[in-house]
Amino acid sequence: MKTGLSQHTSMRQELRVNPRLYQAMDMLYMPMMDLQQHLKQELLANPFLELLEAEEETPEQAAADQEKEQKEKEQKEKEDEVDWEEILLNGFEVGGTREQYEQLEYTEPVTVMTRDLMDHLRDQLQMLDLTPRQLLLGEEFLGNINEEGYLAASLEEILGSINQLVAERFEEGEKTGEPPLYSMAEVEDMLKVLQKLDPPGIGARDLRECLLIQLDEEGDTQSLTYRLVRDAFPDLIAHRWNDLAKKLGVEPIAVQSAADELARLDPKPGLKYSSGSDGYITPDLIVDKIGTRYQVFLNDTGMPRLRLSRSYQEIARDKKKMTPENREFIASKMNSANWMLQAIEQRRQTMLKVMNFIVDRQRDFFEKGVEYLKPLTLREVAEVINMHESTVSRVTNEKYVQTPRGVLPLKFFFSSALSTASGEDASARSIRAKLQKLVGDENHSKPLTDQQIVHLFQEQGIQIARRTVAKYRDQLGILPARMRKRV
């Protein structure tokens, strides 16, 4: 064996993706809001890109914008017009309040920090006549209240945790003797205090206790509803109406009526103080019905309109005055700017192609509703528009479209297929919609079983297994027939 360093040459094939291609795929993946931020950053980083100002738009664009602005102005003037004749004859009570017709100073609403459940409970604890020792224990309880308002730790765990804290503070103070540990009686007393706070049901350890606390707060401790929750909760949640009627000595219909009263209670009282912010969606595409046709538009109103900077292009032409480093920098930025504009247009065309195909395929959905949604896969779209399936996946991921039937994710239009007697496939999403309608229209005294639903689908020419019906029913949150039955 020969040892030492040596060199040799070989040939092999490798597939390498251009970094710009990676960036193009990322742009295709970006929702509208993310793309806006990305283009603003590119605008700052590349001097060869500049904003296309409104006055520099084409005559056709300018005319369209002017017409739109005129219509909006006329609409606003019409809305702001005051019927003074009606006000003079009938007064402000008929025509509206005085404030509607007086010039008022407008104040822009400002988002402020909201107080969450912990703040709400802590304020109430501090208003009570509690000792510092009790307040410390109360804080330990608050730290174990989850977002839904339930106590997420056992009393034993809370006792162990608070006593460990007391022991650590006692040692830090270098005191002698035994630390003043809490007893289980103190923990139980504090739980009762906590469960008296607002909102009713707070601090419960399970759903049954939560409902009992709310009924007790209303003084409803002698009703049949209270007895159902207190004495027969397992049978109640299983909807065993006849068993409950025999156990409590009442008619089954009375049990059902008492159970219906629970609907007014809040099973998750803490959520009303949840600090979660509202989620706002900006649709990437718009589908609008104009006449008898559905038109697809890209919602790029807020997107920066970019073009190559004319001034920097003139500088780039005079290469004789540049150093090699400057020429390299300018060539790099120029190519990057050209590629960015091409990538934006490519993204635009790709999204329009995909959405136009979806609209053509799902026209029955737009006309008649979700029950007429057809099965569709990414591969089908990719084959028709001559693109790779992964490209279509990027286009549809986290994208939304505004349609006459609401704002929907693009993924909504894709679902698996079930065979029918006519030879056409039915969308799984439309099957779920039909299932929900069947259950909604059923006789509550004789609810449809899964097998009966299978037979009804077969009468409509849809072949579906009973286990599939059960799976779709669970996904829709529909109870089994036995639990849906009413007396």
Burial class (CB in 10 A: 0-12, 13-18, 19+), 70: exposed
Determine contact, residues 67/355, Cβ cutoff 8 Å.
no
CA distances from 378 to 93, 191, 387, 416, 453 (A): 59, 55, 10, 11, 30
pLDDT of residue 15: 45
Bridge partner list, 427 = 417
pLDDT of residue 208: 92
The total of other beta-carbon atoms located within 10 Å of residue 153's CB is 17
Dig out the tokens for 75 from the structure.
């609409």
Q: Name the nearest CA neighbour of 298 among 354, 248, 338.
A: 354
pLDDT in tens, 191-213: 999 999 988 999 999 999 999 99
Q: How far apart are CA 189 and CA 178, in angstroms?
A: 23
pLDDT(78) > 60: no
CATH of domain 417-484: 1.10.10.60
Q: How far apart are CA 372 and CA 427, in angstroms?
A: 8
Averaged confidence pLDDT in the chain: 77
| Average pLDDT of the segment spanning 349-362 | 88
Q: How far apart are CA 458 and CA 456, in angstroms?
A: 5
Give the contacts of 358 (CB within 8 A, at least 6 positions apart). Answer: 376, 381, 410, 413
pLDDT in tens, 253-294: 888 888 888 888 899 998 888 755 556 778 888 999 888 889
pLDDT(7) > 70: yes
Q: How far apart are CA 228 and CA 338, in angstroms?
A: 72
Reported as a pLDDT band with limits 50, 70 and 90, residue 102 is very low
Q: Where are the domains of the chain?
A: 117-197, 212-273, 285-413, 417-484
